Amino acid sequence: MELKPYQQGVINDLGLFLDQLQRTNGRVRDSFYDFWLNKGYRPFPGTIVEPYKNNVQDAAGHPVPHICIKVPTAGGKTFIACNALRTIFEKVESNGPSGQPANVVVWLVPSNPILQQTIQNLRNPDHPYRQKINSHFQNRVEIYDKQALISGASFNATAIQGQLSIIVMSFDSLRAKNKEDRKLFQENGNNISFASFNTERNNATTHILEGTDETAVINVIRSLSPVLVVDESHNAESELSVEMLRNLNPAFILDLTATPRKNSNIISFVDALELKKENMVKLPVIVYNQKKERIEVINSALSLQRRLELLANEERKTGGKYIRPIVLFQAQPKTGEDNQTFEKIKKTLVDAGIPGDQIKIKTATIDELKGINLMSTDCPVRYIITVNALKEGWDCPFAYILASLADRSSAVDVEQILGRVLRQPHVRRHKSPLLNLSYVLTASSKFRETLQNIVNGLNKAGFSAKDYRAIEAPDNEPVVNSVGDPLELLFTPVQNTANSSNNDELDAAAIQYVGTVPLSGLPEDNGSSTGTDISDIVQKALDESVQFDERVKKMEEETSPLLADLVNQYKFKDQFQDQAKAIQLPQFYQRVSTGIFGDEEVLLKKEALLSDFNLRKADRNIDFGSVDSELYKVDLEEGNKNEYTPRFSHIDGDIKDALLGNILPNQTRDGQIKTMTRQILKRLGNFKPISDKDVEWYIRQVLEDLTEEQFQDLIAQEYNYSQRIKQKIEVLTTAHAEKMFGLWLDKDKLFLRPSFTFPSTIAPTETGKDLIKSLYVREGKVNSFEEKVIDAIANLESVAFWTRNLERGRGFVINGFINHYPDFIVVTKRGKIILLETKGDYLEGPDSAEKVRLGNFWASKAGNNYRYFMVFETKEVKGAYTLADVSNTIREL
């Protein structure tokens, strides 16, 4: 099971945010702002993308990165989270500054049904969730529940090292409302190994929650600084819930929800149409109001179920997969003797001739579905009676019809369970359009209010209310209308009820049940054999399905409608659109063995080339001689007319000595080195896959090599020295990555594969001048030399069009031993594709040579239709071109 394109987009967004987090050295607010700015948005109060909200702090009081992913119901949030773990642990250390080599996740869920379902799926080696996690973590994965932590079963300081440990718990278990849950906060002798281990790491007290023993399970978790995955996170926004998150002392929090709350820091949106495009959901939803006795709702539901099952069986004969459509009968809550409760409904259906084993009740107190696999071909269940018990933790894609049997005088409340009928069986498009839709049947005299409840239910499933519209139909005519995009609701107006019976009791004799559909189906069935005439529903459903599918086909990869109003988007110019859409630029891919799961082709990342890099064996020769002092003071200086102006100046002499004396008071040289090593380690961020322990060891060795004078200078100029060390490690890793890159190319472990396509719209943060032959209506901003280069190139007769390549995940990257985003992509009239990187003469440096080498590697492997040119203004650099040279070359292409 692989990620759908929109799911991969979510993972990409997560990776880009984490990259920003590293660039800002963990300043979360700045990272969030820069992330959205690079996408073309400016977070602003009152808009869909608001400024970052610091909701949770760790044990030391530092802000914890806390971000949210918005995915509608049936969009695969759990599978996205399983794939996200590798991306997170590539960038985030889950164990804090202590350096323990363990990846720990606390997976939080809102209820016991979801808890059991999540544990079962993550432990099942045949489930796609576990298979994906196993492939990403070399099969070294362990799933723990609350009881395992309390008992200490296979959960100790030694066992969790070197593996991915996922602890699945409910929100309530951490809120300690009952005696059983309070065990998490009590002394526990099974955790002695963690207490002693933390003592060895000089982390014996900083993680201990006030009023608890160090061996309490909660303190064990806190000492590990876990990554939190919060499922249905909209249920965890109260003060008590935020306290629950803080108590876990997390290193990172990933929220998953279809309906983010106001204080959510959203980094990725998934639009409902994306789900329809990838066959994840049955859309549009067809809503039909009988406006007669509720017995007609039952008859229509039975007839529609039979019709759908006939179609499903016919498809199965021609290679389709097994589908057994299920009706969810929503009973009236049991509040009085006259209400049609679930018991009455089941008895009525059985009395009408429906076999009892086909009918199951699922309520808060009765669970006849326990232990039943509804997807099995041996399962007879076709009808499920519920109230709201299916609102969570139950996702059977065979559920097609929601039939409400609420009182006619009531507005039908389907908010909680509407999402249960949205999932598409087998995640594939079926030949019959009727099998690609969901259905809601009602008999309410308050239909307009019912529709609002349906809209509310769709909101709860993650779909936007502003996309809905109601269309009134003429009275007395059973017409079904469309209500909007992305979800369409089809419904009838209030019908003529002059001939309706005043008696609305459910009479078994009035139910038109014609028997169970045989697996062979009924040939040439026209619906007449299904009982009640449902031709109106069927015809309008077919019509709306066609129209909806047409809109999906026309859907382009544009900015989410939720964000469209916040940014200026620029489309292809019409004359270049067809040629641009046909282009796929190749990128480097790596073949990765996943053991029993076979080989997997993944986009190459530099980290993969460093798998055998040993920083402890690398050289430590760093030139600190040219480091300038960074100690300054800012003061007000008196100027003309008694005005005071802020001025800054160097700090030295007695002032400098006094400052330095306060930084490392009364410490030995060894203690000072240890303290500064930790300080610098925090500044550097991580160098995945190099462990923090190895980076810390390297920094310490560098500091021990310093003279006393150099070390005192280091204390005064910590930032500048840190940057020199960081640059040195980057030079070492890049050199090793380039060496491995060449070896892997020679061994065919790497290959180019068409991958990148031009987005149909772009949203640059700033735009440049309107130059001829640009691919988009407006292009990203360029500097003076870049403008000079592209203006000269665009005016060549051989050039068809050009575009400014956007950076940081929004444009095309040559991925290899470095990530290189060339400044421009030029396409000639003969179909040659040219990547241009511009460099002012003053910008020549080591990175220029690396980019030239990688660009030439790419072009040579990509084939004769591809070129790479680095352009300097006048300077002659090996492997690069002057503007005059590159113009002459492109003129001939």
Domain residues of the chain, as ranges? Answer: 5-270, 278-554, 610-728, 757-891
- Residue closest to 454 by CA, chosen among 505, 418, 507, 430: 418
Q: Are 279 and 428 in contact (CB under 8 A)?
A: yes
Q: Model's pTM, two decimal places?
A: 0.67
Give the DSSP per-residue string, 120-183: HHHH-TTSHHHHHHHHHTTT-EEEE-HHHHHHTTT-STTTTTTSEEEEEEEHHHHHT-SHHHHG
The single residue listed with the structure tokens 């008696």 is: 503
- Number of neighbouring beta carbons within 10 Å of residue 162: 12
Question: Residue 129 has which token pair?
Answer: 């969730």
Cα–Cα distance, 692 to 24 (Å, whole number): 18
For residue 113, what are the CA distances in angstroms to 34, 77, 119? 39, 17, 10
Q: What's the N-to-C CA distance of the chain in angstroms? A: 43
Residues of the chain where predicted confidence (pLDDT) is lower than 50: 96-100, 200-202, 336-339, 464-503, 521-528, 557, 596, 629-636, 638, 640-642, 644, 648-656, 658-659
3-state secondary structure of 637: strand
Q: Are 144 and 262 in contact (CB under 8 A)?
A: no
Q: Which H helix or E strand runs over 241?
A: helix 239-247
Q: Which H helix or E strand runs over 837?
A: strand 833-839
Peptide bond into 72 cis (omega under 30): no
Cα–Cα distance, 16 to 37 (Å, whole number): 12
Backbone angles phi, psi at 541, to 5 degrees: -65, -40
pLDDT at 352: 87
Cα–Cα distance, 406 to 335 (Å, whole number): 12
pLDDT at 408: 55
pLDDT at 189: 76
Cα–Cα distance, 401 to 407 (Å, whole number): 19
Give the DSSP per-residue string, 253-304: EEEEESS--TT--EEEE--HHHHHHTT-B--SEEEEE--S-HHHHHHHHHHH
Residue 152: beta bridge partners?
none
Category of 381 on φ-ψ map: left (φ > 0), alpha (ψ -120 to 50) or beta: beta
pLDDT at 835: 96
The single residue listed with the structure tokens 């160090």 is: 214
Residue 290: beta bridge partners?
none
Residue 721: exposure state from Cβ atoms within 10 A (0-12, 13-18, ≥19): buried
Give the dihedral of Cα atoms 77, 80, 85, 86; nearest 10 deg: 180
Cα–Cα distance, 233 to 110 (Å, whole number): 8
Give the DSSP per-residue string, 325-373: -EEEEEPPPS-STTS--HHHHHHHHHHTT--GGGEEEESSS-BTTTT--
Protein fold of 5-270: Rossmann fold (3.40.50)
pLDDT at 41: 78
Per-residue pLDDT tens for 667-720? Answer: 788 888 888 888 888 777 778 788 888 898 999 999 998 888 888 888 878 888
